[in-house]
Structure 1
Amino acid sequence: MSTMIFTIGHSNHPFSRFMELIQKQDIRMVVDVRTRPYSKYTPYFSKKPLEEGLKEYEIEYVYLGNKIGGKPDDAKFYHEGELLYHLLEEDDKYQEGLRILLELARDNKIVIMCSEEDPSHCHRHHLISQSLLKHNFQITHIRGNGDLEKVRSDYQTRLF
Structure 2
Amino acid sequence: MIKVKYNVFTIGHSTHSIEKFIDLLHQHKITAVCDVRSIPYSQYTPQFNREPLQQELARRKITYVYLGKELGARSENPHCYRDGQVQFDQLAKEPLFLKGLNRLRKGMQRYRIALLCAEKDPLMCHRTILVCRNLRTKDIEIHHILEDGTLEHHAEAEKRLMALHKLEPDMFYSEQRCLEDAYDKQAQKIAYIDQEQKACK
TM-score by length of 2: 0.73
Give 5+ residue unaligned stretches, structure 2.
162-201
Shift of 1:157: 5.3
Shift of 1:81: 4.3
Structure number with the higher helix fraction is 2
Identity %: 34
In 2 relative to 1, CA 135–32 (structure 1 residues): closer, same or farther, beyond 3 Å? farther
Q: Structure 1 residue 90 and structure 2 residue 97: aligned? A: no
Secondary structure of the residue aligned to 2:109 is: helix
Q: Aligned residue for 2:146? A: 143
Higher relative contact order (CA 8 A, sep 6+): 1
TM-score by length of 1: 0.90
Q: Aligned residue for 1:53? A: 56
**Larger Rg, first or second structure (1 or 2):** 2
| Deviation digits for residues 80-138 of structure 1 (CA, Å, limit 9, x no counterpart) | 34432111111101001111111111211010001111111111101111122136311
Give 5+ residue unaligned stretches, structure 1.
none
Using the TM superposition, name which of 83-92 and 43-52 deviates more: 83-92
In 2 relative to 1, CA 35–86 (structure 1 residues): closer, same or farther, beyond 3 Å? same
Secondary structure of the residue aligned to 1:152 is: helix
Q: For residues 78 and 27 of structure 2, what CA distance do their matches in structure 1 show?
A: 39
Structure number with the higher strand fraction is 1
Q: Which runs of 4+ in 1 moved over 3 A?
A: 153-158
In 2 relative to 1, CA 24–9 (structure 1 residues): closer, same or farther, beyond 3 Å? same
Equivalenced residues, count = 158
Q: For residues 65 and 135 of structure 1, what CA distance do their matches in structure 2 show?
A: 25
Cα RMSD, aligned residues only: 2.0
Q: 2:130 aligns with which of 127, 137, 146?
A: 127
